[in-house]
Chains A and B, each alone.
Chain A
Amino acid sequence: MIDNEQVEILLNDVLENHGYDFLEYSPASIKRRIIRLYGLDNFVSFAEFRYAVRTDKQYFKRFLEEITVNVTEMFRDPSFYKSLRNDVLPVLGTYPFIRIWVAGCSTGEEAYSLAIVLKELNLLHKALIYATDINPSVLEKAKKGIFPLTYLKQYSENYLQSGGLKDFSAYYTANYSLAKFDESLSNKMIFSTHNLVSDHSFNEFQLILCRNVLIYFDKGLQHKVFNLFDSSIEKLGYLALGSKESLEFWPKAREYKRVKMEKIWRKL
């Protein structure tokens, strides 16, 4: 078993050799991810594991993909998407151009969900979705917009519950076990790597969506990321978080107003 001290050694190696800083991630979560990967890949000793992470570029790619959580869903929390559809996006529709940042987009399911809602509100043509993640390999998947067909039943139910207006299958082409989403959606997305820990603000947005990313960060890092978002949101823009995340303890939270019961805040 890997102990706390070994976790620290490993994370310091990762920072020194690869430039990725996981030292401010929630300790229990990151430790569990590391132990899980160690077990999955059948390492016989910590030394061997450490050596692979430090020196093997190919293995580090896997390490990065596996210790970050890449579980996501289309129209996750339907009531959240209902509120985006009814309360947030119509307001942004009054702007000549809509810039949205999906931070920590993983394999892209939330970006595609958002594009579908924009399309149904007739706003997609003047919108641009910047979808970023720390992890280049998940972005490759996101670009393709291909998701396992087995999940589509759930996504379709979520979509309908969120107030979706169409037959969900109109948005994808099924091919054997895969569903490829329409390119009219991905044409409005820009995919790029971005590390919330170390990279800076790169544009101003009217909406930033960052859901179930901050739960993996410690409080100090959460506040740093809120500051980064704050410097990237226009006045009267929106910040949307995961169902269990909150701005509550961030000192600048009073400059934001909650939108109804959802985890959406508007910058005043």
Chain B
Amino acid sequence: MAQTINSASCEALIIGGSAGSLDVLLEIFPALKSDIRFPIILVVHRKPSNESLLTDLLKSRTSMDVGEANEKEFLTPGKVFIVPADYHMLIEEDRSISLDYSEKVNYSRPSIDVTFQSAAEVFKEKLVCILLSGSNSDGVEGLKCVNSFGGRAVIQNPGTAIMPYMPQQAVLNVKPHIILDSRDMAEYINKLND
């Protein structure tokens, strides 16, 4: 069962990260193929005031289209959607984006759990979620949910994380599809395109 699910094509990739994840993202993006055929969604904890910093940093390191997610926008292949600071992001059945300014989850807005859970239901076995470095446990419940819908839960090897707590919690509580060193992430993502 697991094997057939794992070979499903990827229709969306979501990367969740907190403290220490920026370095990993900056390592991943320059190494990605330019013809990625699925949308990439980034849920990164950060201060609301640094709003465009992450977008600008990534734009300078990839030829992919990078932008902050707008509400009601459709997830289109090959585009990088950054969840705006201070909003949660949900995904609708029609694969459009809903933003939400409700209570923080795990002291975080955006919360990685919220987006993972919402996408799990929509993309089911065609979803891949990667949890990176961080110092709280946001994302763990989300990965469980991704698993329960047949999607793939990928966790950064805590040994390669600047802040190992978040991926560590995931490793302890979630059955991962794979655990990856940060330097192997880009290659893994490129292979999802095959």
Chain A residues within CB distance 8 Å of chain B: 4, 26-29, 32-33, 69, 71, 212, 215-216, 219, 222, 242-246, 249
Contacts and interface: CB of A to CB of B under 8 A. Distances in A.
Given A244-B71, A246-B70, A27 B92 contact: yes
Given A215-B71, A219-B72, A28 B103 contact: no
A29 B100 contact: yes
B65 to A, nearest CB: 18
Contacts of B100: 29, 32, 69, 215-216
Interface string B118-160: 1000000000000000000000000000000000000000000
B101 A242 contact: yes
Given A32-B118, A69-B101, A215-B99, A244 B84 contact: yes
Interface in B64-122: 70-72, 84, 87, 90-93, 98-103, 114, 118
Nearest to B92: A28
Interface residues of B, number: 17
Nearest to B100: A29
Contacts, number: 47
21 contacts: A4-B93, A26-B90, A26-B92, A27-B93, A28-B90, A28-B92, A28-B98, A28-B118, A29-B90, A29-B98, A32-B100, A32-B102, A32-B114, A33-B102, A69-B100, A215-B71, A215-B98, A219-B72, A243-B84, A244-B99, A249-B72
Contacts of B118: 28, 32
Given A26-B92, A215-B99, A244-B87, 12 more contacts: A26-B90, A28-B90, A28-B92, A28-B118, A29-B100, A32-B90, A32-B118, A69-B101, A215-B98, A215-B100, A219-B72, A244-B71
Contact of A71 (B93, B103, B114): B103
A238 to B, nearest CB: 21
Contacts of B92: 26-28
A244 B98 CA distance: 10
Nearest to B48: A77
A4 B99 CA distance: 19
A84 B162 CA distance: 42
Contacts of B98: 26, 28-29, 215-216
Nearest to A161: B49
Contacts of B87: 244
A244 B69 CA distance: 9
